[in-house]
Amino acid sequence: MSDAPLIRTSRLLSSLNWLEHAFLPAGMAPPAESAFGHQRHTATVITAEEAFPPKVREADGVLTNGSRPAAIYTADCLPVLIADTRQYQVAAVHAGLKGALAGVLMQAVTRLISGGATPDSLFVAIGPAIASCCYELGNEVMDNIRANPLVTAPRYFSQQPRNERAIRPQARATQHGIWFDLPALGRQMLLDMQIPAAQIEVLPVCTYCSAEPRSSYRRNTHTNEGYDLRYAWIRRR
Ligand SMILES: [Zn+2]
């Protein structure tokens, strides 16, 4: 086993030679000049200029057409990086269940489109996040999800899915609930905004059972082993 930290990238975003991006492992600092908001699970998206110095403004998404890295931090939430091949804008979005249901992905895409993007000019990568193998929700939460008009095709399982890629035990059921597919929710919202399916990549890494140690907030609530934030960033070259 190597001790080198595992920096993940998207095959799709790596195919765009005008940008750089990374999904960093738990505990690794983002580039020093990165812009990011004070995240509150909202639908607020601001520019990188507004989000620097970091955390001076409340926001859960950062976009820019400049070269400053747009960044977000997550534990189990969706880290979503977006590139616009028409106007060369980039965006980083923190979309947990609450932020996704509040519309943060729609807000980010709407802002990019007002900057000159079109849905078919957008390329999106959804990084490591808690997946249906480990994300149990109670039935009341599930009722709220079903009632949300932004959720057109909820994907969930009554039996806990087995993750073939797991490198540590999956979450144990605690509430006889359902196993919700948060990455699929993000993907569905992007598809509903007419982004082509071939331009959306979901990295198959669950923060609870298949990412590096200390990646998962929920795992820590079960095991008390601690967790560190995971940064994702994207910028124009
Ligand atoms: Zn898992």
The mean per-residue pLDDT over the stretch 133-147 comes to: 95
Give the model confidence (pLDDT) of 5-48 as tens digits: 799 999 999 999 999 999 999 999 999 999 999 999 999 999 99
Give the model confidence (pLDDT) of 178-199 as tens digits: 999 999 999 999 999 999 999 9
State residue 149 phi and psi, 5-degree precision: -65, -20
Q: Residue 158 domain-assigned? A: no
Q: How far is the CA of 131 from the centre of ligand 1 (A)?
A: 5
Q: Residue 165 domain-assigned? A: no
Q: Residue 153 domain-assigned? A: no
Q: Residue 74 domain-assigned? A: yes
Cβ atoms 81, 234 nearer than 8 A: yes
Q: How far is the CA of 66 from the centre of ligand 1 (A)?
A: 36
The mean per-residue pLDDT over the stretch 153-171 comes to: 96
Q: How far is the CA of 56 from the centre of ligand 1 (A)?
A: 33
Q: How far is the CA of 236 from the centre of ligand 1 (A)?
A: 32
Give the model confidence (pLDDT) of 38-61 as tens digits: 999 999 999 999 999 999 999 999
* Residue 154 pLDDT exceeds 80: yes
Percentage with pLDDT > 70 across the chain: 99
The mean per-residue pLDDT over the stretch 61-85 comes to: 97
Q: How far is the CA of 34 from the centre of ligand 1 (A)?
A: 29
The mean per-residue pLDDT over the stretch 89-96 comes to: 98
Q: Residue 147 domain-assigned? A: no
Q: Does the model's pTM come out above 0.85?
A: yes
Q: How far is the CA of 132 from the centre of ligand 1 (A)?
A: 7
pLDDT in the model for residue 177: 87
**Structural domain containing residue 25:** 11-130+183-236
Q: Residue 106 domain-assigned? A: yes
Q: How far is the CA of 39 from the centre of ligand 1 (A)?
A: 24
* Residue 201 pLDDT exceeds 80: yes
pLDDT in the model for residue 26: 95
The domain spanning residue 195 has which CATH number? 3.60.140.10
| C-alpha Rg value of the chain to the nearest Å | 17
* Residue 231 pLDDT exceeds 60: yes
Q: Which is more confidently placed, 3 or 104?
A: 104
Show the tokens assigned to 41.
């699970």
Q: How far is the CA of 88 from the centre of ligand 1 (A)?
A: 34
Cβ atoms 40, 99 nearer than 8 A: no
Cβ atoms 91, 110 nearer than 8 A: no
* Confidence band for 176, pLDDT divided at 50, 70 and 90: confident
pLDDT in the model for residue 2: 56
* Residue 150 pLDDT exceeds 90: yes
**Count: domains in the chain:** 1
Q: How far is the CA of 73 from the centre of ligand 1 (A)?
A: 19
Chain-wide mean pLDDT for the chain?
A: 96
231 CB contacts (<8 Å, ≥6 apart)?
24, 28, 29, 30, 34, 36, 71, 72, 73
Cβ atoms 212, 230 nearer than 8 A: no
Q: Residue 228 domain-assigned? A: yes
Show the tokens assigned to 90.
């980039």
Q: How far is the CA of 51 from the centre of ligand 1 (A)?
A: 32
* Residue 3 pLDDT exceeds 90: no
Q: Residue 55 domain-assigned? A: yes
Residues with CB under 5 A from ligand 1 (ion): 133-134, 163, 206, 208-209
3-state SS, the chain, equals CCCCCCCECCHHHHCCCCEEEEECCCCCCCCCCCECCECCCCCCEEECCCCCCCCCCECCEEEECCCCCEEEEECCCEEEEEEECCCCEEEEEEECHHHHHHCHHHHHHHHHHHCCCCHHHEEEEECCECCCCCCEECHHHHHHHHHCCCCCCCCEECCCCCCCCCCCCCCCCCCCCEEECHHHHHHHHHHHCCCCHHHEEECCCECCCCCCCCCCHHHHHHHCCCCCCEEEEEEEC
